[in-house]
A and B are shown apart, each in its own frame.
Chain A
Amino acid sequence: MTSRASSAVEQPPASLAQPTVEASRQVEPTGKYPGALIVVEGIDGSGKSTQLYLLKRWLEIGGYRLHFTEWNSSPLVKSATRRGKQRRLLTPTTFSLLHAADFADRCERQILPLLHSGYLVLADRYIYTAFARDVARNCSPRWLRNLYRFAPVPDITFYFRAPLDVAVKRIMSGRPKLKYYEAGMDLNLSLDRAESFRIFQGRILAQYDEMIESDRFVVMDGTLPVNTLQKQMRQIVKSRIELARFAPKKSARGPM
């Protein structure tokens, strides 16, 4: 791991490590633990949280050993994030780093230990949220891929893809007050908050689309009825994860 340059003289063009995006991009789950990780991703209003909730209910009712985790839920860096947002102190870099710190805490204290102890971990948003959103804020993809490389690779990443108009309409109908960073106002895309939100979400959507193949997303059509999507989702989970591993020992009752 050490990389000692032979010369003791500063060489200005020489840089610190410059891994390519590809080099630091892992796509295979390591399989070094008995647990499994299922992730949902997609822009706001794509329906992902509803679907993950229904998946969780299905598994809970079946008695499976599972843990549900959300992006941005750790109390650890909450005060810093809140302060930064209220006072608008955050730059693309510090915004990204604070969320990475938050994720690292959740990863090291929840996600990894649970995967090692054989849990099925369900994550509402994962590192791809950071990749999509922070690249939309002009952070370097190479830097971001390195930043999050300690994160375990999901067994399944469901990408709920809804057209921008559909997703924005869903959000705007239910939650008219958009927050400053949420709307991407720090990027000076538009003075109008709703318009800024729309442009920002469009950029994020484009970034998600970029990752479909490279990160092996399972693309779900977010315009389909909730129940249809949920059936598809359960089918995919059953076919790709050996659920029996997470079943309660004595109860024979399975899901369905």
Chain B
Amino acid sequence: MTAAKSNRKNGRPKQLSSAAGASPRNYGLPLPGVHDEEFGGSLIVIEGMDGSGRSTQISLLTEWLESEGFAVETMGLRRSGLVAKDIDALLAENTITRMTLTLMYATDFYDQLEHRIIPALRSDFVVLADRYFYTLIARAAARGIERDYLDGLYEMAVRPDLTFWLNVRPEMAFEREFRKSHAISYWESGRDLSLSDDLFQSFILYQAKIKREFEALSDRHGFLELDGEASVVSVNTELRKRIAAHLGIQRTHYRPSAALASLWR
């Protein structure tokens, strides 16, 4: 990963935009009405299964970036104004088919992209994405939807500046999730796939499938893989090092505030 070379007036590198159709900012197609343009902001994605420590890291990174004077916007799955509630309702019913669910998630993704992410990137924000369309591709592919179909679906997505993958063993993820909520969700254990009647087995088999999809995605998209089983402090230090290099932040000293101190372990 190349570090930022030029320090602009706000201390971050300028994005390059290409001349022809496929832009370095999308995967083959621009969004209708969004012209190939330079974004002042940066898109930083954190991927990883539930229990990999994503949300903890995003809380810490948000505080750190704000303390460094960067405006931060976040996104995640199922957080759009348009369809988040509808997806919740559909998931609760379990009658939805895989293709419909895939397309509802795509709607949720593009709604956030067009209404939140792109405006934020235009306004110089650092956007921290708590998962991105990669997870959606992995889940749908694990359910048998063709990968090139899914690639085509997300051709208009904004290409992140940095994508981190917090990799943990499914067994560790299970332990952390169970400790946190004393239950494992129907969907996170892939129970719709009927992999096993045993919840633990189903979770492990499903997450192993997802992990295989992620390995392929990582190869193609150049994810920065981090050991999600390492301590919060060491994962955070690594994340800050990479992000600081990208944004042109010189000093990376950070101690969490009292509000977040409990996460620092």
Q: How large is the interface on A (under 10, 10 to 19, 20 to 34, 35 or more residues)?
A: 35 or more
Is B156 within 8 A of A143, CB to CB?
yes
- Contact residue among A4, A19, A92 (Cβ-Cβ distance under 8 Å from B148): A19
CB pair A15 B97 closer than 8 Å: no
| Additional pairs, 14, CB under 8 Å, beyond known A17-B155, A80-B82, A98-B107 | A3-B151, A8-B219, A16-B151, A18-B155, A76-B96, A77-B83, A89-B111, A90-B82, A93-B156, A94-B111, A101-B104, A105-B100, A140-B29, A146-B149
Q: Check B216 for interface membership: any CB of A closer than 8 A.
A: yes
Q: Is the interface of A mostly helix, strand, loop or mixed?
A: loop
Q: List B contacts of A1 (CB < 8 A).
A: 146-148
Residue A84 is within 8 A (CB to CB) of chain B in the complex: yes
Query: From residue A169, how far is it (CB to closest CB) to chain B in Å?
Result: 30
7 contacts between A and B (CB under 8 A): A1-B148, A4-B219, A6-B219, A8-B218, A91-B31, A93-B31, A100-B103
**A17 and B148 within 8 A (CB):** yes
CB-CB under 8 A for A8 and B222, given A80-B107, A105-B100: yes
Segment 1-53 of A: residues with Cβ below 8 Å from B = 1-13, 15-19, 24
Interface centre among B29, B86, B107, B219 (most CB of A within 10 A): B107
B-side binding surface: helix, strand, loop or mixed? helix
With a CB–CB cut-off of 8 A, which chain A residues contact B147? 1-3
Given A89-B115, A108-B97, A146-B153, CB of A16 within 8 Å of CB of B219? no
A91 touches B114 (CB 8 A): yes
Asked whether B239 is an interface residue with its Cβ less than 8 Å from the other chain, the reply is no
Evaluate contact between A104 and B103: CB separation under 8 angstroms: yes
Q: Which of B24, B29, B110 contacts A91 (CB 8 A)?
A: B110
Closest CB in chain B relative to A222 CB, distance in Å: 29
- Residues in A with CB closer than 8 Å to B104 are 77, 80, 101
Docked Cα-Cα span, A91 to B100, in Å, equals: 19
- Bound together, the chains give a CA A91 to CA B118 distance in angstroms of 13
With A17-B148, A146-B153 in contact, is A93–B32 under 8 Å at CB? yes
